[in-house]
Every structure is written in structure tokens, then in C-alpha cells.
């Protein structure tokens, strides 16, 4: 993929807490790229899951499902564009989710 993730956010979160809260209560991640503008159909992939994404020019954003943030660890993030004959992917960055999962009684 000719685009490379230059910046993204948030870069850190706590287990079970929303990130970059949106007016409707959803969590979201934003990405700024360098290089070629993003092609139509480019999506954000986080922790192995294709997210509901918007991309244009040199930026993208995506809704983050709460269950992705429910466990600690490094969550890999990259951009992906699927073509009929190939899949292009950007470099990988990581969102660090810290803390312990809540105890269930």
C-alpha cells in the first residue's frame, strides 16, 4: 500500500473504557497517513477485525467495537484495501489497552 500510517489516536486506553468517545457513545480511532491518498474502499483493521471505516485523502477513522477494548494487550491497527487480485496493507501500529478485565461475580 503506498500510504503509511504516520499518526493515530488514541494510542493507549484502559480495559473496558471507551476511546475517543463519539456523540452517540461509540468509541473511535483516527489515522493520519503520509504518501499517496487512500483509495476508495480502504478500511481500518484492528486486532484482526475490519472496522466500520471512513477514509478520504490522507486520513481515516473507524468505529471500535467495545469487545475489542474488553481485554488488555497490544491491539494491532493497519489499513487494508482489497482488490480482485490482491490485498494491500499499510504498516502496523499498536493501541495499548492496559489494566485487568473486570471480575465477574
Lowest mean pLDDT among 4-13, 14-23, 77-86, 93-102: 93-102
pLDDT value of position 2:
82
> Would you say residue 68 lies in a domain?
yes
> Would you say residue 105 lies in a domain?
no
pLDDT at 12 over 80: yes
CATH number at 17 reads 2.60.40.10
What's the CA gap between 38 and 2, in Å, rounded?
8
Parent domain of 33: 3-98
> Would you say residue 103 lies in a domain?
no
> Would you say residue 35 lies in a domain?
yes
> Would you say residue 104 lies in a domain?
no
- Confidence band for 94, pLDDT divided at 50, 70 and 90: very high
Buried b (16+ CB within 10 A) or exposed e, 19-30: beeeeeebbbbe
Number of domains in the chain: 1
pLDDT value of position 1:
67
For 67, phi and psi rounded to 5 degrees?
A: -65, -20
| Site of grid cell 465477574 | 104
> Would you say residue 49 lies in a domain?
yes
> Would you say residue 85 lies in a domain?
yes
pLDDT value of position 87:
95
- Confidence band for 60, pLDDT divided at 50, 70 and 90: very high
pLDDT value of position 104:
66
| Site of grid cell 503509511 | 4
Amino acid at each position: 500500500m503506498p500510504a503509511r500510517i504516520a499518526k493515530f489516536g488514541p494510542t493507549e486506553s484502559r480495559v473496558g473504557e471507551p476511546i475517543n468517545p463519539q456523540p452517540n457513545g461509540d468509541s473511535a480511532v483516527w489515522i493520519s497517513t503520509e504518501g499517496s491518498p487512500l483509495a476508495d474502499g480502504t478500511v481500518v483493521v484492528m486486532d484482526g477485525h475490519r472496522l466500520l471505516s471512513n477514509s478520504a485523502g490522507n486520513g481515516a477513522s473507524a468505529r471500535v467495537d467495545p469487545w475489542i477494548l474488553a481485554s488488555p494487550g497490544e491491539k494491532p491497527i493497519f489499513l487494508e484495501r482489497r482488490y480482485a487480485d490482491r490485498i494491500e496493507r499499510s504498516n502496523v501500529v499498536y493501541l495499548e489497552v492496559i489494566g485487568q478485565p473486570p471480575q465477574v461475580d
